[in-house]
Amino acid sequence: MKGKEKIVVIGGGASGFFAAINIARLNPQTNVVILEKTSKLLSKVKVSGGGRCNVTHACFDPKELSWHYPRGEKELLGPLHHFGVGDIIEWFEERGVELKVEEDGRMFPSSNSSQTIIDCFLEEAKKLAISIKMSTEVLKITKTNNFQLQCKDGVIEADKIVVGVGGNSKEKHYEFLNELGLNIIAPIPSLFTFNLPKHPSNQLMGLSINATVKLKATDFEEYGPVLFTHWGMSGPVILKLSAKAAKYLFAKSYQFEFAVCWMDNAESFIEEQRKRYGNKLVWKTSLSEIPKRLWTYFIDRASIASDKNWADLNKEEVERLEQVLSNDLYTANGKTTFKEEFVTCGGLELGEVNMKTMESKKVEGLYFCGEVLDVDAVTGGFNFQAAWTTSYRAALAISGK
Ligand SMILES: Cc1cc2nc3c(=O)[nH]c(=O)nc-3n(C[C@H](O)[C@H](O)[C@H](O)COP(=O)(O)OP(=O)(O)OC[C@H]3O[C@@H](n4cnc5c(N)ncnc54)[C@H](O)[C@@H]3O)c2cc1C
């Protein structure tokens, strides 16, 4: 009589655990093993979302949700319809983990602690008798009738494999997949801030304002909060651009120009100020929509003297001010990781995977989930959602459901 089917999950992170738990739950006739190369489990979950774990995002329309994935938008649409935000909320709820929504749509455990998610996964894994081997790095996979996973301490056999090893900017990370003849899109960083070393704007550190940022000579453009930092610019708009233009910015070695439009209607705004406050000093103008520090910075940037009033501005000064307000040019010199929160653009080419089952089209019985795939998103809980969605799909397929 044939024994229990053995499923080996490579990677003890978010996607690996979610896949393992659901395989064991959906098909108790399987023997599920997680192999984790380090001595820690779920280490990214632990530090995620500043220690609170931004589990998902309250965006319930799969189409709208998919827009947040610069890599994977089209391919994830089907899987997100199948196991989306509502499903993960319910999955956690069924296990006593309540999630809450913040104003910007990000969802966290109500406990405000990533440990709640870790405890839930560890408890489920224990209940389902999933065996976990730590400090076990998979170095090579071969396949005869079944799979052989070569680790430092020997060979582990498996009937099916789920690869949930996450992303990494080092190509070596993907070597064992390359050796299987799988196509890996060269990994590069995503989610970073723009460096403006020793730029006068560094003094505005901590200030945040809505603006449109456009990468020069490209179509990459975003509107929303821009945050000044002591090294350059950050905030949701910059992070979104860094994700959407990750490949372009990498090709430019992170030396590039961008323009900020702080105000759409700069021309009419200046006209209005000149009419209303003709004899008032320009730098002393008090504006509800622009903080004082920022206004002073704009005036300096437009080289307008402190003794100039609105009526006395000459044509060149008006043009310079208009330029600063509507098309303020910057040259970025490098990037900085956002709060150590980064994801990898690149990984297993999505064309190599059947997105209905997450099974490799080239190697039967080999499944993929999480960030090892060429899928990544902007910040906000979307990266974990991709991990839950792809893992669940793989689990269903493996369980024959
Ligand atoms: C600091 C930080 C904060 C983040 N916060 C958020 C957030 O709040 N919300 C969000 O949506 N996303 C967040 N992200 C992104 C999110 O953490 C990842 O997208 C997610 O963890 C991917 O899950 P994964 O299981 O695919 O990979 P991982 O979580 O990276 O897990 C992969 C596991 O596989 C192991 N492994 C690797 N190679 C091997 C091998 N050869 N053999 C055995 N084991 C191996 C690794 O050691 C690791 O434990 C954050 C990322 C970082 C770095």
Neighbours of 208 (CB within 10 A): 15
Residue linked to tokens 């499903």? 87
Cα torsion 13, 15, 17, 22 to 10°: value is 180
How do residues 234-268 score in pLDDT, each as one tens digit?
999 999 999 999 999 999 999 999 999 999 999 99
pLDDT band at 342 (very low <50, low <70, confident <90, very high): confident
What pLDDT is recorded for position 169?
86
Structure tokens at 81: 């319809």
Domain boundaries, the chain: 5-189+343-398, 192-340
How do residues 148-166 score in pLDDT, each as one tens digit?
999 988 999 999 999 999 9
- Mean pLDDT in the chain? 95
What pLDDT is recorded for position 174?
97
What pLDDT is recorded for position 194?
97
**Atom 4 of ligand 1 has which residue's CA nearest to it?**
48
| Burial of 182 from C-beta contacts in 10 A (0-12 / 13-18 / 19+) | buried
What pLDDT is recorded for position 2?
62
Give the span between the Cα atoms of 333 and 19, in whole angstroms. Answer: 41
- Choice from 147, 383, 385 to test ligand 1 binding pocket (greatest atom count within 8 A of CB): 383
- List, in order, residues 6 or more apart from 394 with CB less than 8 Å away: 19, 23, 162, 357, 358, 359, 367, 368, 369
Domain 5-189+343-398: which CATH class? alpha beta
Q: Render the burial of 112-122: b for 16+ CB within 10 Å, e for the rest.
A: eebbbbbbbbb
Our CA angle for 19, 24, 30, nearest 5°, is: 115
**Atom 11 of ligand 1 has which residue's CA nearest to it?**
381
The residue-averaged pLDDT of 390-396 equals: 98
What pLDDT is recorded for position 399?
92
Distance 44 CA to ligand 1 centre (A): 5
Beta bridge partners of 258: 215, 330
Residues with CB under 6 A from ligand 1: 10-16, 35-38, 43-44, 47-49, 53-54, 137-138, 164-166, 340-343, 370-372, 381-384, 387
**Atom 19 of ligand 1 has which residue's CA nearest to it?**
383
pLDDT at 224 over 80: yes
What's the pTM?
0.93
What pLDDT is recorded for position 400?
86
pLDDT band at 395 (very low <50, low <70, confident <90, very high): very high
What pLDDT is recorded for position 192?
95
Q: Are 137 and 37 in contact (CB under 8 A)?
A: yes
CA-closest candidate to residue 241, choices 255, 263, 224, 262: 224
Tell me which H or E stretch contains 63.
Answer: helix 62-66
Per 3-state DSSP, the chain is made up of helix, strand and coil in percentages (nearest 5) of 40, 25, 35
CA distances (Å), origin 337, targets 98, 193, 234, 239, 341: 31, 6, 10, 10, 7
How do residues 21-59 score in pLDDT, each as one tens digit?
999 999 999 999 999 999 999 999 999 999 999 999 999
- In 103-211, which ranges are continuous DSSP H helix? 114-127, 175-178
pLDDT at 338 over 80: no
